[in-house]
Chain A
Amino acid sequence: MSGGNINLVSLIKRFADVTAVDDISLEIGAGEFFSLLGPSGCGKTTTLRLVAGFEAPTGGQILLDGVDVGHLAPNRRNVNTVFQSYALFPFLTVEQNVAFGMRYRSVPKSEVARSVGEALDLVQLSGYEKRRPNQLSGGQQQRVALARALVLRPAVLLLDEPLGALDAKLRRTLQVELNALQKQVGITFLYVTHDQEEALTMSDRLAVMNHGRIAQLGTPEQVYTEPADAYVADFLGVSNLMDASVEPGGGGGGACRLALGDFTLYAEGGQLDATGSVKVAIRPERIHLYPRESDGPNRMPGMVERLVFLGSTTQIFLRLAHGAALQTLIRNDGGGVPYSQGTPVSVHLPPDALRVLPDPGVSVAAIHDETLGDRVPDVTGAAPTGG
């Protein structure tokens, strides 16, 4: 499978008074599994639709293997889409659905049957040819949608939150399957999701989007451990954002001296040359707790507020002396949890785990709201639309 390189150059899309995609440039290599991650309304789905051809760009270019396809109709691009609602044609059987696009390629009938069989085999649905979409489960429908797109051997496969309508366990299984499938087929996957865990597990690289722009682009590990700003840090898991200010003449070299309330901490990650007020982030798994009496660098007194049993781990909610709230977790490895509500502790924040991030000028709570987007809390398990 050759090709599948996508290049978005200064892509802009405006609808009436809303700029959904605000000058995006990125390059996706052939055969890459690339995710667009962000909350509802960030522009990720619009970007996908631009690549697919359902929207025409207001400005910028969409290059597919070097060719500008921005103004080609969707049926003329070598790109196929798996829709969030699957969009299986209800009046056709599984077999007829998968074969639908082959009509436009003047493929002989025997060839069609064979390809359909292969595609269904690929998604592990052999034997379901004569079924109708309404006789299939959600996961099966999604696989038919996949087969229908893949049978045409596109250079790029676009997936618009395909796992959104499925329950958590099925979602996790299919994530693994999709990944394996992509490696097997070797096509570029452009995947849109609002679920950060999904993006982190499946992608080779991902772009976190916010308000039509790319907040950060990188591998999952890069984006998780080295978030570029407070927004990205907070979007990808717990970030334990705190307000701090840089002390003048700070540590020098590879460290930065910060003041959190009355306490001094050294941070070795992030924007070490920042000045003034900043935000500081640390991942929960990097925080260590010690008995209150213990002493050492980068430690602050705190108190355990709440413990939440999560199964394999226990989440510990802390309150630092100067008021900030933090989360950490410990593995339930049989040794019991040595803390309870109200235990005073000494909270160790290792310098290499602390990241200094530019202060966007809003409170931590406001950042939390923003990363939530306009998502309604997921009580039904149904995916939010938009983005």
Chain B
Amino acid sequence: MNRSATNRRRERWLWIALAAPGAIWLIVLFVVPFYAMLAVAGGSVNPFFETAIPTWNPLHWSSANLSAVWHNIAGSGAFIGPPALRTLIYTAAASAISLAIAYPVAYFVSRYAGRRKALFLVLLIAPFWVSYMMRMLAWIDLLQQGGFVNSAMSLVGLPGGTDWLGGKSITVILGLVYGYIPYLILVLYAGLDRIDTSLLEAARDLGLGRWRTFWRVTVPLSKPTIIAGAFITVLPMIGDYFTNQLLSAAPNTTMIGNAIEGQLLSPGQTGQGAVLALMLLVVLLIPMIYYAVSTARASLEFG
């Protein structure tokens, strides 16, 4: 009995040793940085250089930065409100549009593509390998004043002088859609593909027409996939700041990410930037935990 317990313990060390390097890296470079962020948020400012001085002891954290940010959100002269609100609106709009486009495409490729499935998959995966930068660059080229979009519009008689890149919300929203939709399509495809066809056949066999089968069988079955896809899309979108910078660069389309960036780069406001970042993290924490736990549980079910 003892020998066997020793064997098991010896075995365990092998697994721990294998996991250790990665685990240590994770902790040191993922968990600790957030603690550093907390320390800066709860810290003070060096009056001469206007650089942040972090306070490492949680007992000594000051709430100065927190109140400053709160003031910026809720007090007079608040400037955090608009970007935050805009982030919600843009993300909601972009996610809705993305889902409306992605679902039919994923549905088609998973159900009806037949022998051309591989071809479609290649075409759908292709954007993955094109960097975000390039995809935005492509649209910047097209949306420029002398670019194709305006030329095409003037060809059909519409006004051809729109400044698409000068601070239009629609540009940013569509940019977000363009940027994040490939991930959504692939997640939806993977989930829809996994749906057992015999379930759908059973529904048809029992008398449901095409539409009813879709709404009453396919959609409920794909709900977990839609939720997973939503996470993969919405969470990164909320932290997005570069789409706006690339496609607009105007202050009336900024998102919360830009606000955080802005504060961090302003001397003396690093601490407040940290607070803002932490607030965003807290807001996102609940969906993040939900996603993480359900993924972990799902993998346990199979493992």
Contact = CB atoms under 8 A, between A and B. Distances in A.
Interface string B242-274: 000000000000000000000000000000000
B116 interface: no
Interface string B2-44: 0110011000000000000000000000000000000000000
Interface string A254-294: 00000000000000000000000000000000000000000
Contacts of B1: 59
A192 B132 CA distance: 57
A85 B8 CA distance: 26
A73 B7 CA distance: 8
A331 interface: no
Contacts of B7: 56, 71, 73
Contacts of B3: 71
A73 B14 CA distance: 15
A57 B4 CA distance: 9
A57 B8 CA distance: 13
A59 B1 CA distance: 8
Contacts, number: 10
A70 B1 CA distance: 9
Interface residues of A, number: 6
Nearest to A59: B1
Chain B binding surface, main DSSP class: helix
Contacts of B8: 56
A57 B1 CA distance: 8
A267 to B, nearest CB: 47
Nearest to A56: B4
Nearest to A57: B4
A57 B3 CA distance: 11
A8 B3 CA distance: 18
A56 to B, nearest CB: 4
Nearest to B3: A71
A126 B7 CA distance: 40
Contacts of A70: 4
A59 B3 CA distance: 13
Contacts of B4: 56-57, 70-71
Nearest to B8: A56
Nearest to A68: B3
Contacts of A71: 3-4, 7
A154 B7 CA distance: 23
A59 B8 CA distance: 16
A88 to B, nearest CB: 23
Contacts of A73: 7
Interface in A46-91: 56-57, 59, 70-71, 73
Interface in B40-77: none
Nearest to A73: B7
A210 B4 CA distance: 27
A63 B289 CA distance: 51
B33 to A, nearest CB: 39
A167 B7 CA distance: 40
Interface centre among A59, A70, A71 (most CB of B within 10 A): A71
A123 B52 CA distance: 76
B134 to A, nearest CB: 37
Nearest to A58: B1
A68 to B, nearest CB: 10
A73 B8 CA distance: 10
Contacts of A59: 1
A289 B69 CA distance: 97
Interface string A19-30: 000000000000
Nearest to B4: A56
A56 B11 CA distance: 13
A96 B292 CA distance: 42
B300 to A, nearest CB: 16
A103 to B, nearest CB: 20
A16 to B, nearest CB: 15
Nearest to B6: A71
Max chain A C-beta neighbours (<10 A), residue from B3, B4, B8 = B4
Contacts of A57: 4
A194 to B, nearest CB: 26
A51 to B, nearest CB: 15
Nearest to A70: B4
A71 B3 CA distance: 6
Interface in A118-159: none
A70 B7 CA distance: 12
A81 to B, nearest CB: 19
A59 B4 CA distance: 11
Contacts of A56: 4, 7-8
A56 B7 CA distance: 10
A288 to B, nearest CB: 49
A99 to B, nearest CB: 26
A20 B14 CA distance: 28
A74 B97 CA distance: 57
Nearest to B10: A73
B12 to A, nearest CB: 14
B111 to A, nearest CB: 25
A69 to B, nearest CB: 11
A70 B2 CA distance: 11
A250 to B, nearest CB: 50
A57 B7 CA distance: 13
B88 to A, nearest CB: 47
A62 to B, nearest CB: 11
Nearest to B2: A71
A89 to B, nearest CB: 21
A90 to B, nearest CB: 20
Interface in A280-316: none
Nearest to B11: A73
A73 B10 CA distance: 12
Given A59-B1, A71-B7, 7 more contacts: A56-B7, A56-B8, A57-B4, A70-B4, A71-B3, A71-B4, A73-B7
Which 6 A-B pairs give the minimum distances between C-beta atoms?
Answer: A56-B4, A71-B3, A71-B4, A73-B7, A71-B7, A56-B7
10 contacts: A56-B4, A56-B7, A56-B8, A57-B4, A59-B1, A70-B4, A71-B3, A71-B4, A71-B7, A73-B7
